[in-house]
Structure 1
């Protein structure tokens, strides 16, 4: 046994607030260092300390722990940012361990590290040992993290450190400084290291993280012993998150590191959770600021401490939050602090201590209870967005939509305008500008006057609050408003249900969407499908896209802003890899859009496709003609979507005579069946990774990838089958109603008569 192994070494697990499974991390430490002892420090809710089962062979080292300021841990946990509180408490616990005779304490933060090998390099000759994040510096290349991040967050890891006998003065200094600290904890560790002579861990394999710049020969990449997971997105464990630029370290280009991350993820098992007061009150910035100010006043001016937030004084503490200042209006100090932190409240109630005290109290008693978004929404986006109301002529229709934008809803709005015009219905096309999409190649001549008594608004329910904010007074008031809406789930969330209050009727482009909205409203809901126009591809061929002419090409295409989990290219990759060995012949082409903007999701896709030479991911914006040329260049479109409001890309491929493999679920079933497509069975599963759009209480389809793989093999082996399927698909598209037919249907439903002398819609 080495000299290092003979020493009295304790691993101190810093346990954050939440529900954690310590077993995998404990087992990894015990496997690589069976002679080390384990303890833990609880840094979460004081009244929810977990029970450490005997099998963990780990004990709490912070029971009865002294607090350095005298204010008490129950007040500090409310006053301090969570990471600073964790290190303040851990520093005190480590000092206590060293004072009892322990020779060395290695600190590891639960949920942020994975031990994959020997980490004895942390046990060095220095009293303090820290792990440098970027020993060689970070280049100026637009990637994240960068040097500015390093200055802000600290030069050393905040999830792993080591302390030996003699480090107590540094630990005392750190704990005492952190009781009044704010911001990031990293610079405080840097300062402690500078003042008290910290050494750096010499083994680059310890502390591998997204701060490190990997090279093909870097031992930090080839043989990681300890991973610093602190910047890994727990919900999206394929990307590291810090700063505004693309990630410096990408798992898709580092297969060894990617394998290490996969192996280490089990050691992150658990769920982080914010600390709440008894009764479930969240400790937000306002409460934290109030407690910080009260502790500062106690230290500097000998003011009385507020009641303890936890334990028998909890009710008194809540009453303290609700009580007004002696010198102010009858507004609770919590609400005044919240007012100070929020620009929208300051704008709405500029004089909270006088004239606006009553309205602020009214808001506190009502709106805040149900508020899920800012109470104030800007009602104007500039003179270019103004719409003037110049009448309510019952003989025509105003159409509001993303007319100037190259996105699916913009295309739908333009098609509705064209359908009405072909049916000789007077129409006033109005542009809605709130979009992050690219501008449409052809400028649309839009009006700025709402002339008619009926509106068709092609802005989905989840974005309808912006229509109300921008155009409510001029467009919606006094008119009949029809929402032409799409949605991709059977479940309609409450935020979208509320938008129904602002309209009179819903039109949907598919039965799936109509049935979803009909479940949540008594207002009229109609299925008004738009005919899908025959695509007009450009002259681009396979060669112009870098594709070979002699291979069967499967295509999956989607926008990274359309929630990749719903579009499910990962299912397509799984089916393709089940169907064919690498290099067997066929090629999977995944054409994406906005991968540069939603780079974290794009990184997940690149990671899923890595390791296969026959899967090509190509990201970039194409005009509509070139995008249709992409469809034409493929032999088969694959859409293993979990849900679609319509499935426009499937219909466009069918127009081009391509066989389509698609999930047997949602809006695409309005124009697809087993006669003209290869439909894939599914099971309904709870929504995961919904991108903040699709709630986890909803369900969507999980397509059968083995069945999809069988169809892939079948189409490659039988080209004639694919040709017949493609021909039937095109025939299905040719049988659609015309745009003029659809325009007459819209006029009929809207109660607008075609001008005299034109064709009747009766």
Structure 2
């Protein structure tokens, strides 16, 4: 480097929200004691927080109207470049959301140049499965929007960047800050920082220890994700011990969160408000200093602008200031209360069901309606019932219902798509029954009876998504745990045990499953789950933590116990899967395997485990547990919920629990409902016992199979169905 690094200014920009600059400023000063570090506030001018340790804010003096015009990612740059003024010394701008862990010398610019940090240094994988996708580069720019540097005399470049962020009023959308910086690097003297330790992010992460992290969306509440806003499986996983160690070292700098800029009174500045501000060169009042006057003006402009910007509103309310004024006003009031959503769109419709025809109303059989073409717990019950009816001569038809995200079965099974009988068993949960009534009306009507075979995994439905009980003549729960929450409803509720037919595994051997190929004689604990069944409910993290407690270090000889966590739908629930990878990182004896297997292979895999572990918070049934019991696999399971209908202390190692609130963000379950937290020390002790006491594993497995043989069988189930539906026999 042919330029001096003394006398460098560092501007730390602080966006609106709870992020604070103190730790980042201290980290820069520790790496470069001679550099001059100052923070600048890029949020609500009336809510600028106080600083600690004698620090003082650099005055940005941003025009209030400009705060409204710039997009959120441009706010820090607007504030920083306004505050800098004339660039008389090398100046590095870093936004909170970055973290400094070492020297930044490679960022220091020469006179007259700007320095940008590329998001990518090598050609990336482009198979369409990793996120961020490459399309993001075209929209947001190929350089970081969290850090850049300006050499002495680069005032023209800085001024151009500032003006470009504000956007000429004729443009509908602002240009992203990263794209503006990238364009500036093309138009003005510049250098790209090629030090791979600078700019560790969701795009790239160096093998060596990074010295600058670029994680603007990091959320310490979900520390296992570099960016929880991504749309799918990340390019950079934190499920590597060294990376998680780096995150831990930077934790104080990454604390807090960026929040939307708001007007006085709490109104979020959304795209419509920014668009209005851009379209008016001079606002009639200052948004914060003259809040009341500005709000009166905004009220007049907002809904007019929204109508102008949305084709669906124009189609529904073509004369919104004339004959449609009252209807548009009513819609606006609802939108303000409930949140805006596009009109003429039904977000609940995921797939359309194939056409269903009504061919009769016979009383000697049953229509079976459910997710027969998809893999899920509910659809498995439907397939089990169909098999039982086959073996016992009960006439039936099958109707596939398609309103589900569950993965399809390959090859796709055939269904009748015919309503031939007066009675229908619907293997569709209660929160979907209103949709079912509209999607397949042929099931319903005078002289017909619909039974909902409903699954639910909590002790109450209070506070949950309303169920369409008014469309059900009866509700059946396949365990007492699942039937009890519905007993207060004004409809007949029954516990109807559906027998666990002995499963038939494929001929696939233990060594033919990738995670077990080299397992040899190691004792293998297995966990199986579908992420779409609510990962937190299935609670695989608890199994990983219990295994770590039971066996604190991996066996150096490669002959100790293993834990295999088999999942499906990781790509759709990538945040949960990433957390699982982080929990398992650093342990070669813990394998996370996401793979969709044919049903017979899935059963064979369960039979290949030496023990199955289910530290669930709640289970409606737990079909995988019953399958393992048929196969004489010992089970470690939570001593709570539906599995206790077919499991006791002799046939399984049950783990006691503490009841805890579900907590927020786990729809459809209410946050204040309760479920189980299995005691991990007890689970770990059970794991150690199975490994060290072979006779225990054998005896528990044998007792498990005896328990399955003692359960009510198919004949009892058929007799109960005939009795409850009054079928002609």
Aligned length: 711
Specify the SS of the correspondent of 1:507. strand
Contact 2:463 2:670 (C-alpha < 8 Å) held by counterparts: no
In 1, the alpha carbon distance for the partners of 2:91 and 2:349 equals 59
In 2, the alpha carbon distance for the partners of 1:647 and 1:461 equals 19
In 2, the alpha carbon distance for the partners of 1:516 and 1:263 equals 46
In 1, the alpha carbon distance for the partners of 2:131 and 2:182 equals 21
How far is the alpha carbon of 1:6 from its aligned partner? 4.8
Q: Deviations over 1:654-698 (max 9, x none)?
A: 121111001222222222222221111233344468566556545
1:361 corresponds to which residue? Answer: 329
- Is 1:570 matched up with 2:534? no
How far is the alpha carbon of 1:560 from its aligned partner? 3.1
2:678 corresponds to which residue? Answer: 703
Residues 1-150 of structure 1: pairs in structure 2 closer than 5 A = 6-7=6-7, 9-52=8-51, 54-55=52-53, 57-62=54-59, 65-67=61-63, 73=64, 75-95=65-85, 98=86, 103-110=89-96, 112-127=97-112, 128-138=114-124, 140-142=126-128, 143-145=130-132, 148-150=135-137
Which of the residues 264, 283, 287 maps onto 1:305?
283
2:501 corresponds to which residue? Answer: 533
Specify the SS of the correspondent of 1:526. strand
Contact 1:83 1:184 (C-alpha < 8 Å) held by counterparts: yes
The 1:748–1:308 alpha-carbon spacing in structure 2 relative to 1, beyond 3 Å, is: farther
- Is 1:543 matched up with 2:511? yes
Which of the residues 607, 615, 626 maps onto 2:590?
615
How far is the alpha carbon of 1:195 from its aligned partner? 3.0
The 1:147–1:432 alpha-carbon spacing in structure 2 relative to 1, beyond 3 Å, is: closer
Which of the residues 399, 409, 414 maps onto 2:378?
409
Q: Deviations over 1:13-43 (max 9, x none)?
A: 2212212254433443343334444432222
- Is 1:284 matched up with 2:270? yes
The 1:211–1:365 alpha-carbon spacing in structure 2 relative to 1, beyond 3 Å, is: closer
In 1, the alpha carbon distance for the partners of 2:437 and 2:270 equals 30
In 2, the alpha carbon distance for the partners of 1:193 and 1:493 equals 57
The 1:17–1:635 alpha-carbon spacing in structure 2 relative to 1, beyond 3 Å, is: same
- Is 1:718 matched up with 2:693? yes
1:631 corresponds to which residue? Answer: 606
- Is 1:484 matched up with 2:453? yes
In 1, the alpha carbon distance for the partners of 2:609 and 2:44 equals 56
Specify the SS of the correspondent of 2:257. strand
In 2, the alpha carbon distance for the partners of 1:18 and 1:361 equals 33
2:647 corresponds to which residue? Answer: 672
Residues 201-600 of structure 1: pairs in structure 2 closer than 5 A = 201=193, 203-212=195-204, 220-230=206-216, 232=218, 236-240=222-226, 246-252=233-239, 255-293=241-279, 295=280, 298=281, 305-314=283-292, 316-323=293-300, 334-339=302-307, 345=313, 349=317, 352=320, 356-366=324-334, 369-370=337-338, 376-377=345-346, 385-389=354-358, 397-418=366-387, 427-440=396-409, 444=413, 446-464=415-433, 466-471=435-440, 473-476=441-444, 481-490=450-459, 492=461, 494=463, 496-497=465-466, 499-500=468-469, 503=472, 505-518=474-487, 521=489, 523-545=491-513, 546-580=517-551, 581-583=553-555, 585-596=560-571, 598-600=573-575
In 2, the alpha carbon distance for the partners of 1:422 and 1:514 equals 26
- Is 1:184 matched up with 2:176? yes
1:196 corresponds to which residue? Answer: 188
How far is the alpha carbon of 1:715 from its aligned partner? 0.8
Q: Deviations over 1:421-475 (max 9, x none)?
A: 777665443210233444435765534343555543322244445435533x444
How far is the alpha carbon of 1:269 from its aligned partner? 1.0
Specify the SS of the correspondent of 2:148. strand
How far is the alpha carbon of 1:632 from its aligned partner? 1.0
How far is the alpha carbon of 1:594 from its aligned partner? 3.1
Contact 1:422 1:740 (C-alpha < 8 Å) held by counterparts: no
In 2, the alpha carbon distance for the partners of 1:625 and 1:619 equals 17
The 1:549–1:257 alpha-carbon spacing in structure 2 relative to 1, beyond 3 Å, is: closer
Which of the residues 175, 198, 218 maps onto 2:162?
175
- Is 1:733 matched up with 2:720? no
How far is the alpha carbon of 1:267 from its aligned partner? 2.0
The 1:336–1:503 alpha-carbon spacing in structure 2 relative to 1, beyond 3 Å, is: farther
Long gaps (5+) in structure 1: 68-72, 215-219, 299-303, 324-332
2:170 corresponds to which residue? Answer: none
Specify the SS of the correspondent of 2:328. helix
How far is the alpha carbon of 1:365 from its aligned partner? 3.4
In 2, the alpha carbon distance for the partners of 1:676 and 1:91 equals 69
The 1:378–1:643 alpha-carbon spacing in structure 2 relative to 1, beyond 3 Å, is: closer
In 1, the alpha carbon distance for the partners of 2:312 and 2:659 equals 41
**CA-atom RMSD, angstroms?**
3.6
Long gaps (5+) in structure 2: 168-172
Q: Deviations over 1:276-298 (max 9, x none)?
A: 333333333333333333x2xx3
Contact 1:378 1:470 (C-alpha < 8 Å) held by counterparts: no
TM-score, length-scaled by structure 2 = 0.86
In 2, the alpha carbon distance for the partners of 1:210 and 1:414 equals 42
1:753 corresponds to which residue? Answer: 726
Contact 1:387 1:450 (C-alpha < 8 Å) held by counterparts: yes
Contact 1:149 1:243 (C-alpha < 8 Å) held by counterparts: no
The 1:139–1:661 alpha-carbon spacing in structure 2 relative to 1, beyond 3 Å, is: closer
Contact 1:222 1:257 (C-alpha < 8 Å) held by counterparts: no
Contact 1:424 1:754 (C-alpha < 8 Å) held by counterparts: no
